[in-house]
Structures are given as structure tokens and as C-alpha cells.
Structure 1
Amino acid sequence: MIVDFSKSMSIYELIAIVISVIALFIRIIELIWNRWVVKPILEHLSTGNIMLFINKSGSYVEIDGVFEAKNKPISVKNVTLKIIRQKDDKILKLDWSTFRSPINQRIIGLYASTTEAVHPFRIEADGIITAFIEFSVFGNVSWQHLKPINDELSVLSNKIGNENISFEEAYKDFKKDDLYKEAKIILDKECFWDIGTYEVIMEVKYNKKKVEFLYTFDINANDYNLVKHNIDETLCLSLKDYYRVPYTYEMVKVKLKNKDK
């Protein structure tokens, strides 16, 4: 709109100018609001389950869910877990270690999901990203304790296997050996999972901030029996490898509940 100030303006021209100025101020206010007032909000929505694992590297978990960025884009830099066993307040600290794809692919007739190493990622404003994350301990002490014994268990497996007996017989002899019993004591002691209630604190660092998401879960007797089976399975891997017997790890999946802040 071109205004000739040498002539008096009509009421319609004056209204048009006022509306233009108001529109300009509204735009400036929106920019200031979005830039300095509106804050990014990060939400985590779990699938409602947590998977518990135990092997020679120690206790670890997987939590599946999504992250949602509200208002502004968010760059997630790091995710850690602190799991507290309520009966004795013992704490297990875990770092994110692996992303698992939620889509299974068919590989040689079998369906399996792919994995990748963890890395920072960006979520666009008002967007959602899938996050199936495995959390584990780097430099785990239990592995340092078990590695020499695990090497000896491999030697024991070869020795028993060379006796030309069936796997069932070898399995019985293997579990009677003092070396197996010693390794089981160590892994039982290092195992964090027991019957009872646990609190989960998920800390997410994003942009220059951090936020915590709180959850709880319970392990019952049936869950614990599966854990004990997996401990035994871990100790017998070298023997099963020798006899080419498939592993029989059990999936320990328990309900993950939101905890009120």
C-alpha cells in the first residue's frame, strides 16, 4: 500500500495503516515469544515394559519407547539409568550402549532386529522418534572377575567334550565341577536382579539441560526363576558351543510403571 502524505488520508487508509502496524507488532511479539519465552519440552513415553538381562558382562536392561519434543527441536546428547533396589537401596548405574530397531528383518529364514551403536540424535519440533535402548555398564567389574574363570571353563568344556559322551552327560559333569561352582558364586553375587521392587531414574541430557523420568518395576518369583536359568545358561555357553547346542536364554520382561514425581 502506497500512502501519499501530502494529501489527507481517508478513514479507510488510516484503518489499513493501523492494521499493518498491528500485524507487524504481532509478528515481532511472536518472534520474541518463540525465541526467548517458549521453552523446549522433552517427554519420554515407554511401551510399559523393561527387559532384564544377565550374562558374563553383568546385569543390564532394555527400555523401549519414544521421545517427543514439544515446542522446539531438541538434540538428545546422552541417556543414563540409575536403578535402585528398594529392599537394600543398592544402586545399579547404566549407560546407553545400543539402539535396537523396532522393525524385524528376515535373515536366512529367521526374523531378527538390527542394532547400532548409540549416538546423539535430533528430534524436530513437535516430533516423535522411536528409542529402543539397551543400557549396560562399561568396564564392568564382574567381567573382570569372571574372564579368567570363563577361559578356564572353555578349557573344561573341551576336556569333557573329548571324553566322547553325550551333551546331557557332559552337562551334568560340567555343573559338578568346582570351577563351575566358583563361577556361579561370582555371577550370583554380581547379579543385581532379585525378588522385590525397583525404582528407575532415567536422566536425559539435551541441548544444555537435563530431565529425569521416573519409573518402577517389580520382580516376582517366576521372573527370578528365569533370571537364575539365564545365569546357568551364561556359565554353560562354552560347553554348548563345543556340542553346537542352541542357547536357551529366557526373556525376562516385566511391567514398567510411571512413578509420580
Structure 2
Amino acid sequence: MRARRIIMLTVGASAAVFGLTGCLGVETTPEKSARAEAKASKELEEQQQGLKIGKPNTSIKVETSAIVQDPNGVAAVVRIKNTGSVQAAVPIAITVDDAKGKKLYANDIPGLDPSLTSMAVIEAGQEVDWVNNQILVAGKAAKVAAVVGAATGKAPGALPKITISDVMHDKDEDGFYAQGTIANESDIPQKRLVVTCVARDGDRVIAAGRAVVEKLDPAKTLKKPTKFTVFFIGDPKRADLECVAPPTVLSGATK
């Protein structure tokens, strides 16, 4: 299967500054560092334990779910809708069965990348696709069931704006793919942005794929556009194509 793919201060001055920032509620650099380390440690622990859904999400609903399979593998597409406020780090559990109801796969395997077990962020009122194209099964996958859990992250009032443009799809010796331009319109550098592309013929999902942009700096700092390539499972040539890339670094959003 082809890999597709994800100063120095005196003691007195220091005390004065610390006391002032503490009174004003300003987070210091050591505090930011400690918070980032704690978050990374929690994410690593969750990866090692595997996904577990506790309380179901009360405002994010599964609209549809679909399976696409071809010689390159299996992709699950789960379309979710947020009827509440913006939410971050939203867990999504899936189970893939064959036509007889036999379980072939579940994304509760320890060590999976967070993007294969959750969505980074979903805006208020947004309806969007989540894709897992790293599904290894023996046999024919027939259906996928999905459950959305309670969000585990904190979302700011304003999210970084990520735009996708100039999307086209074609085929080469490796199969079907889509290419496009992705831009970070915010001031916040992004890491490990997941670009998902889903092809539909009417209401039917006929192809899906994803790609990971490891780093995306603010567009205003770049000299040339950033390109991405998504390889598909399935054939998208007769379909309407929708590509999205939710932001992954949310803090300090200005746009």
C-alpha cells in the first residue's frame, strides 16, 4: 500500500516583574512553557493508551458516514455538524465492519496520530468532513460507525483563518490526486495541518484522501505560495470536490 500521505535582572527587579505580571494575570514565559509541556505530555499519554470515548458530545452530531475502498486501501469519511459553540480537540471514534457485521478495524489502537482520532477544531455551526485514510483491513469493508466525544481542548474566540484555492485533480502512475494552494491568513504559524479532500457524486462519497502540511507560516511572510498534494482512495474524476484544513495552533488568534 502506498504511503499517503500528516537578560538578566536583579533579584529585586525579577520579583517585582513577577508580582506585577501575576497581579495583571499575564502568563509568563516559564508558565507558557510548563503549560505546553503538560499539554504535550497529556497528548502522548492519550496516544499510548488509545482512544476512549467517555461522554458523547451533545452539540456535535454525525450527519453521515461512508467507506471508500480500492487497491490502495480504505478511507472512512465522517461528516459532522456543530450545533453549538466552537470546540477544539474533538475526539472521533470509528468502527469499520464488513457486510456481515464483523469488526475489521477501530481507531482505538495505541500510538495513532491525533489527527486519526480527533478533529483539531470545528467552528460554531460548521458542517465538515473528517477523514481517516490509514485503515488497514483484511477483506471488504462495508460500513463505518462513528461516535463524537466531548471536546478536550480550549478554543479561543477567534480562530486562525486557513484558505485553500486553485484545487485541481488528475491522475498519474500512482493514482488519483488533488493539488492546490494553502495559505495561512493569520499571524500564527501552523503545525501539522491536515488537508482533507472528499469527492461526492450527489450525496455519495466516491473518493477521499488527506495530506499533512508540516509547517505553514503566515502568508504575508512567504515569498511564494504553499502547495499541497492529496492522494485519493477511490476515483474522484466525476465528482464535486471539497477540501478543508482546520487550524491546529489556535492560541493568540487575531483573525
TM-score normalized with structure 1 length: 0.29
- When Rg is computed on C-alpha atoms for both structures, the one with the higher figure is 1
Which of the two has greater helix per residue? 1
Which of the two has greater strand per residue? 2
